[in-house]
Structure 1
Amino acid sequence: MISTVETMAAIDNKLSKRFLELDPAGYFIIYLDREAGLICAKHFTNEVNEQGLAVDPETGKPIPVTVKVERQPTATLTGRTAKEICIQLFESTKPSPISRFDHAAYLGREFMRAELALVTGQDYVQD
């Protein structure tokens, strides 16, 4: 018999593979600073081309997802909890670097996952 946890994980894995329209306002790289006990998020700008790919606004070239690219973030946010970093991002940053509701919801979910990993000591890998 499949447990509730396994069922939830299967649903989550399936939904993670769906098509997402990119936010033209940019993207975030989320990671943990365990020494400081912080959730960190670096914001990077991008443009979205006709094919729906994120491109570097300076070069017009697609931003690769499998190769590390050295780009300077436009902002770095940190918080001890998901709520703290969300308040910073959505209430204190003007203008907000988010232009899509689905992107805002995704970030909230990711910040909660990061907080759980920070508290439990588990690894965190951004979805």
Structure 2
Amino acid sequence: MKKVAAILALFIGLMSIFAGSKVLLGIDTKPYTILIWLVIYNIVLGVISVLTSLLIWRQKPSAKTMILYILLIHTLMLLFLYFIIDTVSSESIKAMIFRVSVWTLIFVLTTYPSKRKKLNANKPAPHEH
């Protein structure tokens, strides 16, 4: 399940970098007010997500910490955008809900052992003859 989590982290990271870069470079224009600081935030977190995907793939202990930090930061940003900022677009809110959902899934996939691991843990050890 950790490989699936790593692929999800890589995907969402690359998606954030690609989409944000298009907006910053003026390639993609939007019919609503763009918060440049939010676009930069998304690109920076996209880069961090890509790096975290490598940690997850390599099963590094620091991966869990990074996953929690990313999930916490995105959750706080979602709350900030929803309750504090009145110029944010509904698309930005939806995108942040998507990020929080994906990182929650990544957290679950990397926290709980798969059924296969549970089954192998319950098997009796082979007897030596």
Tell me, yes or no, whether TM beats 0.5: no
Higher relative contact order structure (alpha carbons within 8 Å, sequence separation ≥ 6):
2
Higher strand share: 1
Name the structure with the higher helix share.
2
